Amino acid sequence: MPSRDKTTSYILSQLREARTQPLTDLTTSVEDYMEVIYELIQEKGYARSIDISKYLGVKSPSVTSMIQRLDKMGLVDYERYRGITLTSNGERLAKSVKERHLVIAKFLQILGVAENVANSDAEGIEHHVHKVTIDRITRFVDFVAKNQAWFDTFQRSLSTHSS
């Protein structure tokens, strides 16, 4: 009979808990759309379905369906054949998603991860991190920014361990 490993039991219970208690009512897909719409508006002054389709790599009918859903959720204002605008709630959500992305990417870069890898990883992580964790990561990133000597020491330790 195999011995019962308390660590494994704890990990299994945490996995179950993480799966049964969503961090948010919003899906990863909703957050991705909001982030892309926000970025398009910031870059071009407007967001169109065709542009969203291009950046998310999804077909136009899928974009239309999601935009209609976002409109019903009160996150965007959508008029067929016109641009898509964010409501104040939509803009707040989009900025929040973008901020999570930026802070996670910065955190990973502090750890020595290359910028392109940090951004790629942040894109996946940003949707699955609890607010408490994001708050702590933000505090850590802020601490590092204000304590350059500490960061320099940490960076030196990374280079001596990677040899």
Average pLDDT, the chain: 85
Least confident of 25-39, 53-67, 83-97: 25-39
- Tell me, yes or no, whether 119 lies in a domain: yes
pLDDT in tens, 69-79: 999 999 999 98
Burial (CB count <10 Å: 0-12, 13-18, 19+), residue 163: exposed
- Tell me, yes or no, whether 74 lies in a domain: no
User: What domain range is 155 assigned to?
Assistant: 96-161
- Whether pLDDT at 13 is above 70: no
- Tell me, yes or no, whether 59 lies in a domain: no
pLDDT in tens, 102-119: 999 999 999 989 999 999
Q: Average pLDDT, stretch 34-44? A: 94
Query: Alpha helix (H) ranges present in the chain?
Result: 6-20, 28-44, 49-56, 60-72, 88-110, 115-125, 131-146, 148-161
User: Buried (b) or exposed (e) across 64-75, using 16+ Cβ within 10 A?
Assistant: eebbebbbebeb
pLDDT score at 83: 82
pLDDT score at 148: 85
- Tell me, yes or no, whether 46 lies in a domain: no
pLDDT score at 21: 47
Q: Which residue would you say has higher pLDDT here, 1 or 135?
A: 135
* Confidence bin at 51 (pLDDT 50/70/90): very high
- Tell me, yes or no, whether 50 lies in a domain: no
* The total number of structural domains that make up the chain: 1
CATH number at residue 134: 1.10.60.10
pLDDT in tens, 120-152: 999 889 888 888 999 999 999 999 999 888 888
pLDDT score at 23: 44
CB-side neighbour CA atoms (13 Å) of 21: 8
- Tell me, yes or no, whether 84 lies in a domain: no
Determine if the pTM surpasses 0.85.
no
- Tell me, yes or no, whether 147 lies in a domain: yes
